[in-house]
Copies of this chain bind each other. A is one copy, B any other.
Amino acid sequence: MSWKNLYADRVGAMAHGDVAGMLKLSERPDVISFAGGLPDPNVFLLDEIRDVFDAVFAENGKTALGYGPTKGITSLREWLADKMTRSGRPAKVDECLVTTGGIAALDLICKVLMDPGDTVIVGKPSYLAALHVIRSYQGRFAGVPVDERGMQPEALRSTLEALKGLSVRPKFIYLVPSFQNPKGVTMPGSRRNRIVETASKYGVPIIEDAAYRDLRFEGEAPPILASLDSENVIFINTFSKIFNPGVRIGWITAPASFIETLTLAKQGQDQCASTIGQYAALAFASTGLIKKQIAGAVKTYRQKRDAMLAALEKFFPQNAHWTIPEGGFYTWVTFSDGVDTDSLLPQAIDEVSVAYGAGPAFFYDRGGKEHMRLSYSYVPVSQIEAGIERLAGFLSKNRVF
């Protein structure tokens, strides 16, 4: 039986395993890995989470073990509607759909919106798992540069105009406006307005991925895009960063008619998100534990961010440049043209046991070789300086500096 003869065309469109490869690097215990975007397990309030599960079993045990409604349990959707309303995007229960995490949310949206060959607008660079989902729907990409303040509105406008000239109507614009993955940058409020207005003018919806938004170390949070245009912005978020990834719970907030169609698609994706995970997320959120955990997580990740930036200052030379994240998991380093982070990666792992995210994984066209993503979220704070020192030594030896 030759399986490959039976494969769908989309298999050819899927990239080789960038995501899996990065996660794998984090598994080798001898490697200091700045590659994956994993949370620090020490931020989970383990005892409190165990108590929350106990309470769920005591109060809703039989229901929590059964199938739930495809849209999610009503009490959690009520909490989500309230959270969205407090975030400036007034939402009703029927505008909220519970998903099996953030990627499953994007998978559903693509299932409803994308035919093979459809165009999607993404940042240069972008979240690599999102690129993988879009590829699995045989999407074409149009790229818009992401600078220190996020996606550039003028470049978005000219891209939309150029596509219009070609009679191409993109299906959506995918964005991570706060603490972007991979650059760590945050779009200021004024630019958010321009992005939202431009997208609306061209009739192209925005998918706003807010995965890191609640992990802000300092400064004021700009408004979510969905608060600026609740009709044209589809908001997706996950409990992975604010509760834990192990329960696989995320959500989508969008106009009710679109949520209905997503629900129909979800019946063919996984029927419903984990019922017990939903009850646990709700209990964790509604008793205020989520705020407690976020406060601890912010403290931990801020400390790690500081250690990372200090180590970069200490060991990386003037001709390298990196972003200063105000939250989230990542900083993004840019070297001189000609540097090839992709081909250096296996060598860095072999020679100095340090891993990073090579730039091309985050570009749909696999450009961006002169960049690397450094994730400070997972590595113990005590190892960050040593890791950066070793990486700097390796890069220097290989004449990157």
Q: Does A31 belong to the interface (CB within 8 Å)?
A: no
Chain B residues contacting A275 (CB-CB under 8 Å) are 245-246, 248
The answer to whether B129 and A261 have CB atoms under 8 Å apart is: no
Q: Does A123 belong to the interface (CB within 8 Å)?
A: no
Q: Tell which of A103, A132, A265, A271 has the most Cβ of chain B within 10 Å.
A: A271
A114 to B6, CA, bound (A): 8
A112 to B7, CA, bound (A): 6
Q: Which of B7, B23, B42, B67 contacts A245 (CB 8 A)?
A: B67
The interface on chain A, measured as residues whose beta carbon lies within 8 A of the other chain's beta carbons, has a size of 84
The answer to whether A44 and B70 have CB atoms under 8 Å apart is: no
Q: Does A101 belong to the interface (CB within 8 Å)?
A: yes
The answer to whether A129 and B271 have CB atoms under 8 Å apart is: yes
The answer to whether B38 and A61 have CB atoms under 8 Å apart is: no
The answer to whether A255 and B1 have CB atoms under 8 Å apart is: yes
Q: Does A29 belong to the interface (CB within 8 Å)?
A: no
The answer to whether B23 and A69 have CB atoms under 8 Å apart is: yes
The answer to whether B65 and A244 have CB atoms under 8 Å apart is: yes
A44 to B23, CA, bound (A): 35
The answer to whether B57 and A265 have CB atoms under 8 Å apart is: no
Contact residues, A255-285 vs B (CB, 8 A): 255, 257-258, 261, 263-265, 267-277
The answer to whether A114 and B8 have CB atoms under 8 Å apart is: yes
The answer to whether A132 and B11 have CB atoms under 8 Å apart is: no
Q: Does A333 belong to the interface (CB within 8 Å)?
A: no
A250 to B367, CA, bound (A): 38
Chain B residues contacting A132 (CB-CB under 8 Å) are 267-268
Chain B residues contacting A112 (CB-CB under 8 Å) are 7-8, 11
A267 with B17, Cβ < 8 A, contacts A8-B114, A274-B277 known: yes
A246 with B261, Cβ < 8 A, contacts A49-B57, A129-B267, A132-B268 known: no
The answer to whether B265 and A14 have CB atoms under 8 Å apart is: yes
The answer to whether A115 and B8 have CB atoms under 8 Å apart is: yes
The chain B residue sitting closest to A9, CB to CB, is B115
The chain B residue sitting closest to A258, CB to CB, is B3
A113 with B7, Cβ < 8 A, contacts A54-B54, A68-B246, A246-B66 known: yes
Q: Does A186 belong to the interface (CB within 8 Å)?
A: no
Chain B residues contacting A88 (CB-CB under 8 Å) are none
Q: Does A10 belong to the interface (CB within 8 Å)?
A: yes
Cβ contacts A61-86/B at 8 Å (1 or 0 each): 11111111110000000000000000
A104 with B23, Cβ < 8 A, contacts A231-B1, A276-B247 known: no
The chain B residue sitting closest to A233, CB to CB, is B1
The answer to whether B54 and A66 have CB atoms under 8 Å apart is: no
Chain B residues contacting A247 (CB-CB under 8 Å) are 65, 274, 276
Q: Does A171 belong to the interface (CB within 8 Å)?
A: yes
Q: A44-B62, A53-B53, A100-B104 are in contact. List 16 more A-B contacts (CB 8 A).
A: A1-B255, A3-B255, A8-B113, A8-B114, A10-B111, A17-B263, A39-B66, A50-B61, A53-B57, A66-B246, A132-B267, A246-B275, A248-B248, A248-B277, A269-B269, A270-B270
A248 to B248, CA, bound (A): 10
